[in-house]
Amino acid sequence: MSRDPRVRLEELRFLYNIQLDHLRQTEHWIRVAEERVAESASREPPPPPQWGYSHAEGDRPPTVHAWGCGMSGPKKPLTREQALRALTVDQIPPCVYCTPDRDLGVLE
């Protein structure tokens, strides 16, 4: 005996609606998770700078340093791009101890 195709169609529509409800619930969970990730990222402190610029002091010229270099006084933080520009375009010498030019890939 053959099934009525209308009954099969009703069953498929019922299944479709259940799956849509599940997808909506999953989309909601994704939105909540994305909000939590965004909130936690906004609370994290920014990473420390990697490069710095020390001003001229006395007879010492200004120099570019790796941020953790102990041979410089107070430093102004620099982005990678700013440090590269300082070394190449502005011709500010690199620190001879921490050699930021080597780490930045600047060849002499």
pLDDT, mean over the chain: 89
Q: Which residue type is seen at 21? A: D
Predicted pLDDT of residue 41: 81
Q: Which residue type is seen at 10? A: E
Evaluate if residue 73 carries a pLDDT over 90.
no
Evaluate if residue 38 carries a pLDDT over 70.
yes
Query: What value does the mean pLDDT take over residues 57-80?
Result: 85
Evaluate if residue 108 carries a pLDDT over 70.
no
Give the confidence band of 58 by pLDDT, cuts at 50, 70, 90. Answer: confident
Domain boundaries, the chain: 1-44, 51-103
> What are the residues whose beta carbons fall under 8 Å from the beta carbon of 87, sequence distance 6 or more?
64, 94, 100, 101, 104, 106
Predicted pLDDT of residue 1: 59
pTM of the predicted structure, to 2 decimals: 0.57
CB 64 within 8 A of CB 57: no
Give the confidence band of 19 by pLDDT, cuts at 50, 70, 90. Answer: very high
Residue 99, sorted as left (phi over 0), alpha (psi -120 to 50) or beta, turns out to be left
